[in-house]
Structure 1
Amino acid sequence: MTGGARETGASRATGAAGTSGAAGAGPGGAASPADEGLDARLVVERGAFRLDVTLTAAPGEVVALLGPNGAGKTTALRALAGLVPLDGGRVRLDGRSLEQAPPEDRPVGVVFQDYLLFPHLSALDNVAFGPRCRGARKADARAQAAGWLDRMGLAAHATVKPRGLSGGQAQRVALARALAIRPRLLLLDEPLAALDARTRLDVRAALRRHLADFEAVAVLVTHDPLDAMVLADRLVVVEDGRVVQEGTPAHIARHPRTDYIAHLVGLNLYHGRAAGHTVRLDGDGPEVTTAGELSGPVFVAFPPSAVTLHRERPTGSSARNRWRCAVAGLETHGDRVRAGLTGDLALAADLTTVAAAELDLRPGAVVWATVKATQVHAYRD
């Protein structure tokens, strides 16, 4: 994409919102409290792929769209910005219908994954671009931009062009540019994806502070569970173009409902039918013993750290759950080793590198996996 094309795309989505888009009108021209925030159903059809996602959010709420590659997250974000036309549904923001509004007339700010800063403009003029598009005089727009750069800790970089900024600095300039138009909806498309691990840690903390002060709706698209857990008040998990689960980060981390979510939050997840303390897993799977009593269809989950491995069948273990497995693969997770197991039950187990060496773990090795009933979490389907 050329520099000119980049400027056109960015200007449509980051700063050229019309003055008519501030809020929906209630009595006396003010927005009704019931109308405040985002109410959207996004239906987009692209060949065999169909996106059908409902999103609602109150002012001050940060919602994270989480899902695997190709799930439709970015398509949903671009539909909210008006960069992708809807094939059905609605977009209402503060009581105002936006389905027919072009991007430049929507009170929406966007932070793109690669920031899309104008390469020929300084940091100050990048941020001033939005207010200028909304009719502010050059001096006023630059004064506003200077204030935003100061908030971002970038006052000393006002005259620097994008090529002279670090990744973290460029991300903060892009955020300042999006916020400078005082949007009623802030869209963040993988805002930390281009950063190295150390910079990501610092910028994530700064972004959390800025989002905490943001009074309108923010929608974050990410595939990183840590970004979602740290930054969002609520998670909406999308798979294959549809919502499969939503809730607070804590609820979803403890009650995953798909294999993707379980993998994301680091849990072994199964489905079965409970009768008291025993759950018979689907597909003629083994029984799993739980500490709690339930009946009917349930999910069963436990972390890889709850699994203990033995080279011989354990006889004196207090663990109620025992399965004969084979090592399918090994990979390093920080200072621990994660073993992927198949056999009586497919599962992941975490253990120290010392324990892995003592057990002489290798692909194909036969082991026994045990899990205490108190470590198994069962919850209703």
Structure 2
Amino acid sequence: MTEPHEAASAPSAHDAHASEEGLDAHLVVERGAFRLDVALSVAPGEVVALLGPNGAGKTTALRALAGLTPLSGGRLRLDGTALERTPPESRPVGVVFQDYLLFPHLTALDNVAFGPRCQGATKERARARAAEWLDRLGLADHAGAKPRRLSGGQAQRVALARALATRPRLLLLDEPLAALDARTRLEVRSQLRRHLAEFEAVAVLVTHDPLDAMVLADRLVVVEDGRVVQEGAPSDIARRPRTDYIAQLVGLNLYRGEADGHAVRLDAGPPITTTEALSGPVFVAFPPSAVTLYRDRPTGASARNLWRCEVAGLETHGDQIRADLAGELPLAADLTTVAAAELDLHPGAAVWATVKATQTHAYPV
């Protein structure tokens, strides 16, 4: 659903310089009926997150960057050097896998020293570099520990140190926090963000967790069904989602329609009144917290948008109750536990939903 970029008449000096630094990739991988077709351009020092549902092609893209999955077409250039035919072990790429894949028979120090040794460093120099990285990641006291004696967070940092010790020009992280429990995840996410901010080369991470993506990345590239559907700064994507998947990810109700001034005629459903005066195809979004529910049709309500709905389901959402509503306009509404009890909400209950025009946000398709 992203719009095609206009072709420039001639590359600028900045473009020519940028093409020689960082990652310039067009990843085309065909596997049976599935086709991955993703373009990526990442500058040194930038962290990009590939975000998308299971089966979207995120991991395939990461494996293609690492050289573990061959390209069916496209290109892969890193700092101006083509890598399509370069074997994985010869690429200046560091990878942190979801399950870390530490060598169980080696200490943390020797796990980290493994990469430099493969690059030709002597055992002494490799261990010295490994010790330096373990110290930088706060693991100096665990250098002699084997993986089974490390906590999940410690193992994650050893895996990161092992990837960084090879001095990669491209760092790939595959669901780097997925194996951690919620409490450890919070702490390690903060540490990882700090280390990525200090990384001077290109970093690409794959995740299906929106919070990991929003916190760790400078830019998001959202992939669905093997193609890019939206990319941009986390704040821009959160404010202007362009697919149902992204809208659900950032917690918004999203609709598409035709705008004529302040009225938007939806492709499917009743019209919505917005504060923005637009013309042509638009998206309209509003948060579940903007929805007010009534059991009887409200009289004298100031909201310009009023729909008759039916409760399709209820679930706990943080410290609130989220109501899944069907009817004139399918939508989600958030309300307190007390409000849900006072309204006697239950599946099948008829309700009226209102949303003020000032709480909607319309933007061009």
Query: Are 2:120 and 1:117 equivalent residues in the alignment?
Result: no
Whether the 8 Å CA contact 2:51–2:206 is kept in 1: the answer is yes
CA distance, structure 2, for counterparts of residue 200 and residue 161 of structure 1: 21
Is residue 362 of structure 1 aligned with residue 331 of structure 2?
no
The correspondence of residues 268-347 of structure 1 with structure 2, limited to 5 A, is 268-283=253-268, 285-347=269-331
User: Which of 24, 36, 44 is matched with 1:39 structurally?
Assistant: 24
| Structure 2 unaligned spans of 5+ | 1-15
For residues 35-184 of structure 1, the aligned pairs below 5 Å read: 35-184=20-169
Describe the SS at the equivalent of 1:276: strand
Aligned CA distance change for structure 1 residues 214 and 359 (closer, same or farther; 3 Å): same
Q: Deviations over 1:35-54 (max 9, x none)?
A: 00000001111110000000
Cα distance, 1:34 vs structure 2 = 4.0
| Distance (Å, rounded) in 1 between the aligned partners of 2:17 and 2:35 | 33
Q: Alpha-carbon deviation of 1:32?
A: 5.6
Deviations 1:8-56 (A, max 9, x none): xxxxxxxxxxxxxxxxxxxxxxx96540000000111111000000001
Give the distance between the partners of 1:201 and 1:231, measured in 2 at CA: 12
- Return structure 1 stretches of 4+ with deviation > 3 angstroms: 31-34
Closer, same or farther: CA 319–33 of 1 in aligned 2, 3 Å: closer
Quote how far apart the aligned CAs of 1:292 are.
Answer: 1.2
1:195 to 158, 180, 205: 180
Residue identity in the other structure for 1:156? D
Q: Secondary structure at the match of 2:190?
A: helix
In structure 2, the CA distance between the partners of 1:55 and 1:34, relative to structure 1 (3 Å rule), is closer
Query: Structure 1, residues 226-251: CA drift from partner, whole Å, max 9, x if none?
Result: 00000001000000000000000011
Summarize deviations over 1:114-163 as a string: whole Å, max 9, x none.
00000000000000000000011101110110110011111000000000
- Whole-angstrom distance in 2 between the partners of 1:317 and 1:237: 39
Which secondary structure state, in structure 2, belongs to the residue aligned with residue 323 of structure 1? Answer: strand
Residue of structure 2 equivalent to 1:24: none
TM-score, normalised with respect to structure 2: 0.95
Change (3 A) 1:210 1:262: same
Is the 2:18–2:43 Cα contact (8 Å) retained in structure 1?
no
In structure 1, runs of 5+ residues without a counterpart are 1-30
Say if 1:357 and 1:265 are closer, same or farther in 2 by CA, change over 3 A.
same
CA-to-aligned-CA distance 1:77-127 (integer Å, 9 cap, x gap): 000000000000010000000000000110000000000000000000000
